[in-house]
């Protein structure tokens, strides 16, 4: 079997330099998702949610939180962790499509687009748009602009490390990444980059009113976020 990004994420993916980095990242992303929730009874899907360490905090601000990740090991861990939380529903690749059409208020897809071939991603967005209710939003976060270099991402990580009190681990983490599987897979498979008008085009092709948001999710503001609202 060939390399795949989902296999990478299904393994013991060492992209976080330490637990503090992981925790601060999860906190920032959860905070950003919460700012997008418009009503306390909102139905929210976090697609490609990863470990979703702050899922409980997000769930406390909405009616139902669906969590989906393509990596089976990530999803299994999540299922065990949130099993006792009534309004959190982890959904696998089949169950995610059983969510009722026209029922979701918000779909968040943060830091996932870069791992999916562009045609597949456009098809995914079109299919997910069918799950949004009228007035609902699909928000894409952490899109890589064209030409974004690993050096620019590295600088953003160092600045996050400086502000978050994990500068030395961030520096060591960068050295580790240089020799890591992530770098090998990145050179073999690449990462998808989007120009702003291209990202808006993907949302519009799915029948959504697309626009770029003022801020990206999380710490790396060189990357971009977009929303598509269903008419």
Ligand X SMILES: C[S@@+](CC[C@H](N)C(=O)[O-])C[C@H]1O[C@@H](n2cnc3c(N)ncnc32)[C@H](O)[C@@H]1O
The contact set with ligand X (CB under 6 A) reads: 5-6, 9, 29, 48-50, 69-71, 74, 110-112, 115-116
Q: Which residue is nearest to ligand X (CB)?
A: 50
Quote the CA–CA distance of 74 and 150 in Å, as a whole number: 25
Is the Cβ of residue 144 or residue 208 nearer to ligand X in the bound state?
144
Rounded to a whole number of angstroms, the minimum distance from the CB of residue 134 to ligand X is 25
Of 48 and 164, the one with the shorter C-beta distance to ligand X is 48
Q: Six-digit token pair at 114?
A: 């870069």
Smallest distance from the beta carbon of 50 to ligand X, in angstroms? 3
Which residue(s) pair with 139 in the sheet?
108, 227
Least Cα distance to 23 among 160, 182, 214, 183 occurs for 160
Cβ 100 to ligand X shortest distance, Å: 20
Q: Terminus-to-terminus CA distance in the chain, angstroms?
A: 42
Minimum CB distance to ligand X, residue 32 (Å): 9
Number of H helices, E strands in the chain: 9, 7
Residue 38 CB neighbours (<10 A): 12
What phi and psi values does residue 210 have, to the nearest 5 degrees? -95, 145
């Amino acid at each position: 079997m060939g390399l795949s990004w989902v296999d990478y994420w299904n393994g013991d993916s060492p992209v976080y330099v330490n637990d503090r980095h992981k925790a601060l990242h999860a906190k920032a992303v959860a905070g950003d998702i919460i700012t997008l929730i418009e009503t306390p009874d909102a139905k929210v899907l976090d697609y490609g949610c990863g470990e979703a360490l702050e899922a409980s905090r997000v769930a406390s601000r909405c009616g139902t939180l669906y969590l989906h990740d393509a990596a089976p090991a990530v999803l299994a861990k999540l299922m065990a962790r949130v099993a006792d939380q009534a309004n959190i529903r982890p959904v696998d690749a089949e169950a995610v499509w059983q969510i009722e059409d026209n029922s979701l208020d918000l779909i968040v897809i943060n830091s996932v687009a870069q791992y999916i071939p562009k045609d597949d991603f456009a098809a995914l967005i079109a299919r997910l748009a069918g799950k949004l209710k009228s007035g609902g939003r699909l928000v894409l976060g952490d899109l890589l602009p064209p030409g974004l270099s690993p050096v620019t991402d590295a600088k953003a990580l160092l600045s996050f490390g400086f502000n978050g009190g994990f500068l030395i681990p961030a520096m060591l983490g960068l050295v580790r990444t240089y020799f890591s599987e992530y770098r090998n897979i990145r050179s073999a498979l690449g990462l998808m980059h989007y120009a702003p008008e291209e990202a808006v085009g993907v949302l519009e092709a799915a029948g959504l009113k697309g626009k770029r948001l003022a801020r990206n999710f999380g710490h790396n503001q060189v990357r971009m976020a977009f929303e598509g609202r269903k008419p």
